Amino acid sequence: MNIDYSALIQMAFEVRDNALAKYSGFTVGAALLCADEEVFTGCNIECAALSASLCAERVALFKALSEGKRDFVAMAVVGGDSDGGVNDFCPPCGICRQVIAEYCDDPDFEIILARDTDDYIVYTVGELLPEAFTGDKL
């Protein structure tokens, strides 16, 4: 599929505005492109009991999975301090990498880390989580 990177990144920026990040002040948006071209977005949602919080990437992926989606093409991620300033690349945390490795298991799946719609780096899951512990190891 021809991926419109800047459109996907733009969706990640838009959903980032919905983040609930009053404890960290760090807001993240993710946009997940499914094989049927539908896009699911997610933002981070924090709770006072911090471990109950959820990252943007898993919100987007769990939304899609719970709607029955199983085949994924790419995910764009943007994040930074909510007070603006220069955005740096926001790489997924280790737990998100584990969940992405589990469910976005097409070897061509792309993770797009963006600072702007025309400023991004593309990774594979294997690059972000080499030697992943997955179901075939059980």
Interface positions with ligand THU (CB under 6 A): 21, 24, 26, 28, 44, 46, 53, 55-57, 77, 79, 90, 92-93, 96
Secondary structure in 3-state letters for 68-87: CCCCEEEEEEEEEECCCCCC
Cβ–Cβ < 8 Å for 78, 87: yes
Q: What is the DSSP letter of 23?
A: T
- Choice between 39 and 56, CB closer to ligand THU: 56
| Beta sheet of 39-43, edge-to-edge order | 39-43, 26-34, 72-81, 110-116, 119-124
- Choice between 86 and 138, CB closer to ligand THU: 86
In angstroms, what is the minimal distance from the CB of 88 to ligand THU?
12
In angstroms, what is the minimal distance from the CB of 50 to ligand THU?
8
Cβ–Cβ < 8 Å for 19, 83: no
In angstroms, what is the minimal distance from the CB of 2 to ligand THU?
26
- Choice between 29 and 39, CB closer to ligand THU: 29
User: Which are the catalytic amino acids?
Assistant: 57
